A and B are shown apart, each in its own frame.
Chain A
Amino acid sequence: MTDMTKVPQGIAQVNKKNKIGHDRVFPVVNTLILILLMIITLYPVINTVAYSFNDGTDALRGNIGLWPRVFSMKAYESILSDNAVYQAAWISASKTVITTLLNLFWTSMLAFALSRREYVLRKFITTVMVLTMYVNAGLIPNYLLISRTLSLSKSYWVYIIPTMFSCFNMIVIRTYIGGLPDALVESARIDGAGDIRVFWQIIFPLCMPVLATVALFVAVGSWNSWFDTHLYNAGKKNLHSLQYLLKMKLATTQASANAAKSSAEALASTTQTTPVTIRCAITVISTVPILIVYPFLQKYFVTGMALGSVKG
């Protein structure tokens, strides 16, 4: 980051001296800085991949860069023979799909209703919704509601029911619908279609770009969440999500990272595959789905973010 702060000064100096020279120098410097930034961004990711393909005992010596030092597939073999990982992957994948679909269904319908100016409850409902972005009851009251009042803990439903709605996403979709021509709705209404039909047959199909954005936000949020498992389902092994599994591996490797001085001891007492390589391998497995999906949706979510922030 310190490199970046120096840039404007550098430009200023060149600028004063020679305008033509500066126009040639700046793009080069800029490109170099951005390439450096990409390296800094990607290094930890590739480093993790390298760790995951490294031999477990050797990995404890650390200092693995972008390529495994002693190549080994042991970590992957041990994960792929572990039924807990399959179960967790199934939980993660299914809750992601269900949460995403439910979110799209409810959020887009609500967004449509709140985009109709003639709707008499529009102001009231919008205010109630928007306030939730700024006022939050807090962790403990939420916990008491979900686990005690509603008895949702130790069940699969705790992944689905409390995460069905997000005001931010609703505003993103509503802003998008607001940008569609009013005539679309009005002409359909004149032809005798009710609001529900107008929405499903005319507006919903037109919202695909913004729905792709919201689907990505919701899916990534659901896929990446571990805290709900930690809070409500820690005791139910068959309901653990992939990220929670990873979180538990993190806790076991953390001790060795903090007590790094005793790495010689740790080295002596380990078996072939150590948690570090296993943790990295699970990381890779749980990241691949996101890596596959997200570049295709990039052009959508950039617009979506801009839309949401205007009104949000």
Chain B
Amino acid sequence: MSIVRNAQGKEIRARNKGFFRTLFSQWQLMVMSVPMLLYVLLFNYGPMWGWVTAFQDYKPKLGMLGSKFVGLKNFEWLFTRQDFINSIRNTLAMSIINLVFGTVSSILLAILLNEVRNRGFKRTVQTVTYLPHFLSMVIVVGMAQNIFSSNGAVNAMLLNLGLVREPVFFLGEGKYFWWLVGVINVWKEVGWNTIIYISAMTAIDPCLYEAASIDGAGRFNKIMHVTLPGIRSTFVILLIMNIGHLMEAGFEIQYLLGSSVVMDWSQTIDVFVLQYGISKQQYGVATAAGMFKSIVAIILLVSANAISRRLGEDTLI
């Protein structure tokens, strides 16, 4: 349909003559798009051949063609490793903490910003809270080390308020690690994540607020019954996408902030892959771990999507 409506007469005729005729007449569009298609096939799909190494006892010298196939041995070995089990647990724990903290904080901030009437002030808050998104994780972790160190600002505050007697070693004890990562991620991304919610809120019909006012709704009721339902579909779509990313708790922050002292709590699957694949050169095992992660991620994405469809909500795919 759209082809007939949009194309010119020349192309409709060409189309009737066959696919390749049309394709040939569109050589300029091909020049603009095929190079990037080849690029993506090489750099995004090409590495998928590397998944073969997950089933091999991969030796760099022998390469993918020469290495011996070992079936599922790499996967079996992975699940006997306590540090791999730990890294699955840590990945899920940190990404759930990130998801809950991140979603709740950014929706709350979006609501608060939406209620601000002074445009200059609103813009200032937005400019300031977007800023950390643009800082690299290296910088953010450096700042966190200053702030959370035993003589840093957080400990100084806790001591002054009398909440603790001794400085807390936030960076040196495993039990704090997940929460530290959650707090740092919220600090970094809360402002940025409001952008999408605020744009959903500006799409809400102002008549709804007026009607609610006439019915006697106060500010809180308007938030509950107009604003929140208005961002519901955005929330659902983002939730499905985030569930698809549950296996990715990130690795930069864990890699940079973690240390051997807290490794049992800081190592995520990505850090595990990095450690075994790059440092220890056990490519087969590391690829298997990465592949396990990708497969679980796809299963999570598809099932979240299916559940959402079942519940009559919006879907991603």
Q: Which residues of A contact B301 (CB under 8 A)?
A: 134
- On chain B, the number of residues with a Cβ less than 8 Å from chain A's Cβ atoms is 111
A112-B32, A120-B23, A287-B135 known; A280-B112 Cβ under 8 A: no
Does B304 reach chain A (CB closer than 8 Å)? no
Flag whether B99 is at the interface (Cβ < 8 A). no
**The residue from A12, A110, A276 contacting B36, defined by CB atoms under 8 A apart:** A110
Other-chain residue from A137, A254, A260, A305 in contact with B259 (beta carbon distance below 8 A)? A254
Whether, in the assembled complex, B308 has its beta carbon less than 8 Å from a beta carbon of chain A, the answer is no
B128: chain A residues within 8 A (beta carbon)? 38, 41-42
Q: Is the CB of A40 within 8 A of B187?
A: yes
Across-interface contacts of B65 in A (CB, < 8 A): none
Asked if residues B156 and A63 are in contact (CB atoms below 8 Å), the reply is yes
B101 proximity list for chain A (CB < 8 A): 1
Query: Judging by beta carbons under 8 Å apart, are B131 and A139 in contact?
Result: no
Q: CB distance B6 to A27 under 8 Å?
A: no
Chain A residue numbers with a CB within 8 Å of B156 are: 63
Residues of A within 8 A of B82 (CB): none
A20-34: contact bitstring with B at CB < 8 Å (1 yes, 0 no)? 001100110011011
Say whether B50 contacts A140, CB under 8 Å.
yes
Q: A196 interface residue, CB < 8 Å from B? A: yes
- Compute how far the CA of A41 lies from the CA of B297 in the bound complex, rounded to whole angstroms: 32
- Main secondary structure, interface of A, reads helix
Q: Is B171 interfacial (CB-CB < 8 Å)?
A: yes
**Contact status A138-B221, CB under 8 Å:** no
Q: Indicate whether A268 reaches chain B with its CB closer than 8 angstroms.
A: no
Cα distance, A146 to B132, chains bound together (Å) = 31
Residues on B with beta carbons closer than 8 Å to the beta carbon of A149: 46
Give CA–CA (A63, B158) in the complex, Å: 13
CB-contacts of A25-75 with B (<8 A) = 26-27, 30-31, 33-34, 37-38, 40-45, 47-48, 51, 61-63, 65
Q: Given the complex, which residues of B lie within 8 Å of A106, measured CB to CB?
A: 35-36, 39
Tell me which residues from 1 to 59 in chain B have a Cβ below 8 Å from any Cβ of chain A: 2-3, 6-8, 11, 19, 22-23, 26, 28-37, 39-41, 43-51, 53
Q: Which of A81-89, A93-101, A242-250 contacts B (4 or more CB under 8 A)?
A: A242-250
Do A139 and B270 touch (CB < 8 A)? yes
Taking CB atoms, residues of chain B closer than 8 Å to A112 are 32
Nearest residue (CB) in B for A250 is B142
B290 touches A140 (CB 8 A): yes
Decide: B125 and A114 in contact? CB cutoff 8 A: no
Of the candidates B8, B23, B277, which one forms a contact with A139 in the assembled complex, judged by CB atoms under 8 Å apart?
B277
- Is B226 in contact with chain A by the CB < 8 A criterion? no
User: Residues 196-234 of chain B: 1 if any A CB is under 8 Å from the residue's CB, otherwise 0?
Assistant: 100100000000000000000011110100000000001
Once A119-B26, A220-B134, A283-B142 are accepted as A-B contacts, the answer to whether A141 and B49 lie under 8 Å apart by CB is yes
Produce 1/0 per residue, B249-275, CB < 8 A to A: 000100010010100000000100110
Complex-state Cα separation, A256 to B169, whole angstroms = 12
Q: Mostly helix, strand, loop or mixed at chain B's interface?
A: helix
- Is A302 within 8 A of B278, CB to CB? no
Contact with B along A199-233 (1 / 0, CB 8 A): 10000000000000000000010011111000100
Distance from A303 Cβ to chain B, minimum over Cβ atoms (Å): 8
> 1/0 per residue B61-82: CB within 8 Å of A?
0000000000000000000000
Q: List 19 A-B contacts (CB under 8 A).
A: A33-B112, A34-B112, A37-B109, A40-B187, A110-B32, A137-B46, A139-B277, A140-B277, A164-B39, A189-B8, A196-B31, A224-B134, A243-B139, A250-B138, A250-B145, A253-B142, A280-B146, A294-B130, A294-B134
Q: Which A-B residue pairs are the 7 nearest by beta carbons?
A: A141-B50, A62-B151, A138-B290, A224-B136, A137-B47, A141-B47, A306-B199
Excluding A19-B218, A110-B32, A120-B23, 10 further A-B contacts by CB distance (< 8 Å) are A1-B101, A4-B105, A4-B108, A38-B125, A44-B146, A136-B294, A140-B53, A182-B6, A196-B31, A286-B136
Q: Write the residues of chain A forming the contact surface with B, with a CB cutoff of 8 angstroms.
A: 1, 4-5, 7-8, 11-12, 15, 19, 22-23, 26-27, 30-31, 33-34, 37-38, 40-45, 47-48, 51, 61-63, 65, 106-107, 109-110, 112-114, 116-121, 125, 128-129, 132, 134-145, 148-149, 162, 164-165, 167, 182, 186, 189-190, 194-196, 199, 220, 223-227, 231, 243, 246-247, 250, 253-254, 257-261, 263, 276, 279-280, 283, 286-287, 290-291, 294-295, 298, 302, 305-306, 309
